[in-house]
Structure 1
Amino acid sequence: MTKTYVITGGTDGIGAAVARALFRRGDHAVVIGTNPKKAEPLLREAADSPGSAAFVPADLSLVADTRRTVGELLEAYPKIDGLVMCARFFRTYRAVTSDGFEDNFALFYLSRALFSYGLLGAFEKADGAVVVNVAGPGHDTPIDWDDLQSARNYDGVRAMFMTGRLNDLLGVTFAERHGKSGRIKYVLFHPGTTSTGFVGEFDPPTAAYIEQQKALAKPATAVVPPILQLLDDPPKEPLSAFNMYDELSVRSRLFSPASAARLADITAELLEPDAT
């Protein structure tokens, strides 16, 4: 039976590799991305595959565009079997969106919160939905609660890691609120060093380092099998975390329910009136 999966950041790297694997095996992959030209090869390949694919253009760094996209998905797909969130964009220098949010915070965290909660109704109609948040769980970067959007002493690497911590806490709250029925599983996933699209805006030293990493990193296709395994046979617990195939504990201080509740309150205030 064909299943429907939504992939954010689905035209590059891990997202595109997952989309290909899904439609090649007969499922429907809904690819979210900013560039229609990048989606064209995927759509052509899907047309000759057992499954199918669709492309939805969106700038997920913008809250309004993310909300619009979620609404369109709910209208087009009343039942969604899985969500794989890969979209992120590294910036050496701090940038602020037209919504007034720091770009990394908006794309890497707020959009994932809006997708996770916004598609809830479609998840509940599936026969066991799975949300895979590709965000690098378990990193011990401290959260600066007074500066979640890195306005002071911005560092691109630290901002990315701290926002990954916020995704860990997003998973904690989502599982507490919606995991008790056992119908929706939330999985935090760390792909390790992978040769993805490495999209971003880099200063020269960072760009040189990225090129070195590309040469040493594993291909995006190597990350697909563990993600498919999680989609097809998710853990029994409402929340889990993995580094590739290795399960990580979600019982440590890094996944504190109190911190997760604190973040949920802050997020609700930021996203009013349509708070999560």
Structure 2
Amino acid sequence: MKTIVVTGGTSGIGQALSNTYLGRGDQVAIIAPDPVKGKKFLDTAQRAGAADRAVFIEADLSLISENRRVIAEIVDRFPVVDVLVLCARYFRSHRLVTSEGIEHNFALYYLSRYLLGYGLVDVMNKAEAPVVLNIAGPGVGAPSIYWSDLGLERDYDGWTAMFQGGRLNDLLGVSFAEGGSTRRARYVLLFPGGTRTGFAGEFDAPTAAHITQMKRAARPVEFTVPPILEVIDAPPREPLSAFVDGTPLSLLHPAFDKAAAARLDRITRELLRDKASA
């Protein structure tokens, strides 16, 4: 029996993966902010006779403090974590700053994935073949990174924030994989292609109309999940790999620049130190 941890596990791809692994007999912990959806997950597990293998952790992962609480709870509950699936994301047409003073998209889409990946290293190192699966958009439509304004305070746009988040996760994968023997988990960046999920967010009218069109052209989630399962169950041997709609992406792509990854890692560590001492 494996232990699977899924952020954003109450909807879309995260929900489908969580239910699939429960059905296989694995232990699944999902992390999401909505207690009503969390109860539905637990009720579904109970009806399937899997209540003892299902865990719901309610948390707002846009907050550093919540990520640290979640990490502590997971480490306390599970001596080993085999798979960490990072799905949580929330689109915002208008800029929002968290109570900790960080732009919401940067906090949830990038910083949370940074914290959870590094925070669970020790319990993942104990697994036989650990995998971190980061559902993002590797190398896809990525604009330049706004290094002097990562929170897009001067010129915020929801799509720019989302695409920049994808770029930041590309670099996160690079820096994580550079850990060598100290981090045994294979890091997989994956864009599954257009998928008909809830696409959680708060949208202005033009964005809402565009999202509706995207959903009409997208594939149902049941067609997206099987290829993802294959990557998790038989991950590439390389420390880092990236896939776009099932096709491997060369790590020579500019999105995976090692110098940029090191720069982002330094900025992130400084940010976290500043917030810890505040």
Q: Do they fold alike, i.e. is TM over 0.5?
A: yes
**1:75 deviation in Å?**
0.5
Q: What's 1:63 paired with?
A: 64
Misfit runs of 4+, over 3 Å: 48-51, 179-183
3-state SS in 2 of match to 1:272: helix
Where structure 2 has 5 or more consecutive residues not aligned to the other structure, the ranges are none
Report what 2:9 is aligned to.
10
Number of the residue aligned with 1:73: 74
CA contact (8 A) 2:192 2:246 kept: no
Deviates more, 1:107-116 or 1:245-254: 245-254
CA drift at 1:50: 6.5
**Contact 1:26–1:49 under 8 Å retained in 2:** no
1:157 aligns with one of 159, 179, 190: 159
Q: What SS does the aligned partner of 1:97 have?
A: coil
2:133 alignment partner in structure 1: 132
State the match for 1:23 in structure 2: 22
- What is the percentage of aligned positions where both structures have the same residue? 51
In structure 2, C-alpha distance between the alignment counterparts of 1:246 and 1:47, rounded to whole Å: 37
Q: What is the Cα deviation at residue 221 of structure 1?
A: 2.1
SS at match of 2:190: strand
Match of 1:254 in 2: 255
Q: Residue 169 of structure 1: which of 171, 176, 179 is its match?
A: 171
Flag the 1:46–1:189 CA change in 2: closer, same or farther, 3 A.
same
Distance 1:83 1:31 in 2: 10
Query: Do the aligned residues in 1 keep the contact of 2:191 with 2:245 (CA within 8 Å)?
Result: yes
Return the offset for 1:44: 2.0
SS of 2:242 mapped into structure 1: strand
Match of 1:237 in 2: 238
Q: TM-score, normalised by structure 2?
A: 0.94
1:88 offset after TM fit, Å?
A: 0.5
Taking the aligned partners of 2:145 and 2:210, their CA distance within structure 1 comes to 25
How many residues of Structure 1 are paired with residues of Structure 2 in the alignment?
Answer: 273
Residue 42 of structure 2 corresponds to which residue in structure 1? 43
Indicate conservation of the 8 Å contact 2:176/2:183, yes or no.
Answer: no
Deviates more, 1:213-222 or 1:258-267: 213-222
Amino acid paired to 1:77: F
SS of residue paired to 2:212? helix
CA separation in 2, counterparts of 1:183 and 1:244?
Answer: 25
Question: Are 2:87 and 2:135, in contact at CA under 8 Å, matched by a contact in 1?
Answer: yes
